[in-house]
Amino acid sequence: MRLVIAAPHGRSGKTTITIGLIAALRQKGLVIQPFKKGPDFIDPGWLSLVAGRPCRNLDLYFLSPEKLRLHFAASCRGADVGLVEGAMGLFDGLDLEGSDSTAAVARALMAPVVLVIDATRMTRSAAALVRGFQNFDPGVSIAGVILNQVARARHEDILRRSIEHYTGLPVLGALPKKKDFGIPDRHLGLIPAVENERLHVALEATGKAIAAAVDLDALLAIASRAPELTAPEQENRPAPRRVRLGVFQDRVFTFYYPENLEALVAAGAELVKIDSLADEKLPDVQGLYLGGGFPEVFAPQLEANRSLRREVREAVAAGMPVYAECGGLMYLARRLNYRGRWYEMCGALPLDVTMSSCPQGHGYTAMYVEGDSPFLTRGSTIRGHEFHHSRVINLERREVNFLYRVRRGYGIDGQVDGILYRQVLAGYNHLYAPSSPEWAPNLVALAEGN
């Protein structure tokens, strides 16, 4: 069984409703495999937390439809339902055809779609909206509607009757205007699930609200209409461990695709977690992986952990292989400016970083590998994404090289990304290991030679 949760536009409540559906379905004893359409780390953190299984990203910018189906089917092993949260509006994409849209993902998966409608200040017009989406693309099966932000019983009644009369689609549920089950957010979206355990109470409230408001049996009946997908045979042979690779995973650094971590393990890495706030020393590792996150939010605590910052700086100086993305780049800098105050970071790279009030880079990227490095093959193109409010300043360009020429996106300065310094590759581009299959084996091999 599988289902896509989509909406006419962003901020319709998809994440809240998807979280609530997972929680409510788990209460019925079902195992749910969550997915998120598009390059995203924050929403998947919440979906993973409530599902008890790692959320997977689905994106046709990174994978072909066939590979997407195989990835979906393999990820659903052991699950009763695959639940996909869409991104932006259902048909929104990079081009006129919407080739990478949520609708395109639903077509590739042959999955029915439930449309979430923000009913604020709407009654009968909601039916016209749903009917337009229903008829826009015959290849997309919109099978039901969930209403959000419903004012009162009379409002819900006219919405239900209008939508069901004019579209023939069932209204599966209606959520009232409430804020006690909302997930708080900040400049890059929702607050990451691991940052504050007190936020987890929102999950319980959301699950209860969905269970009370949505016909879960009707929802499951829709999900069961999807034809079966065949999963590839599972490889059970464990990869021999060749290196120990330190991965910064804590409240600060949370932006990791599970597929990236699994690719490193498959290439022979034993992953050793490092807590940038609590650990005073680096463990016995031969390389480091620093993902994205919110170092600016934890800047005082990061600055206070002087011993770990010193160890990272000394490891880089000694030639330890390091791969860092976005937040990891910021942590390796000399200093970080946030809200008018400077904080000392590792000092491993000859640059500073400052935060801006608006995004400096946001969206899909295409990075042409024009430099020589042991990380990626020269002449290849890396597809990824970026979303950052920080920018690099005071960069001593004579001391560094750049691996990427920006073909799409912004990177460091709109022209280049991927700073090469000693055996460090640090940039704003987030790559997705299944679409860059050489990355993990190369990083493991580099660490093995350290």
Q: Which residues are catalytic?
A: 326
Backbone angles phi, psi at 148, to 5 degrees: -125, 155
Q: What is the DSSP string of 177-234?
A: S-STTPPPEETTEEPPTTS-GGGGHHHHHHHHHHHHHB-HHHHHHHHTTSPP-PPPPP
CA distance 232 to 164: 40
CB atoms within 10 A of CB 405: 17
Is residue 418 within 8 A of residue 403, CB to CB? The reply is yes
> Among positive and negative, which fits the CA dihedral 30, 33, 36, 41?
positive
Q: Cα(427)–Cα(143) distance, rounded to whole angstroms?
A: 42
Distances (CA, A) of 365 to 67, 70, 160, 416: 20, 24, 41, 12
In this structure, are strands 32-37 and 56-58 parallel, antiparallel, or unpaired? Answer: parallel
Contacts of residue 130, defined as CB under 8 A and 6 or more positions apart, other chains included, come to 115, 117, 142, 145, 163, 166, 167, 169
Alpha carbon 54 to its chain's center: 11
CB 424 within 8 A of CB 316: yes
Which two structure tokens, joined as six digits, stand for 120?
């604020």
Joined tokens for residue 331: 């942590």
- Residue 375, token pair as written in the block: 């990380």
- Beta strands at 416-421 and 352-355: parallel, antiparallel or unpaired: unpaired
How far apart are alpha carbons 61 and 296 in whole angstroms?
30
Type of residue at 235: E
Specify whether the CB–CB gap between 296 and 322 falls below 8 A.
no
Main-chain phi, psi angles of 235, to 5 degrees: -85, 120
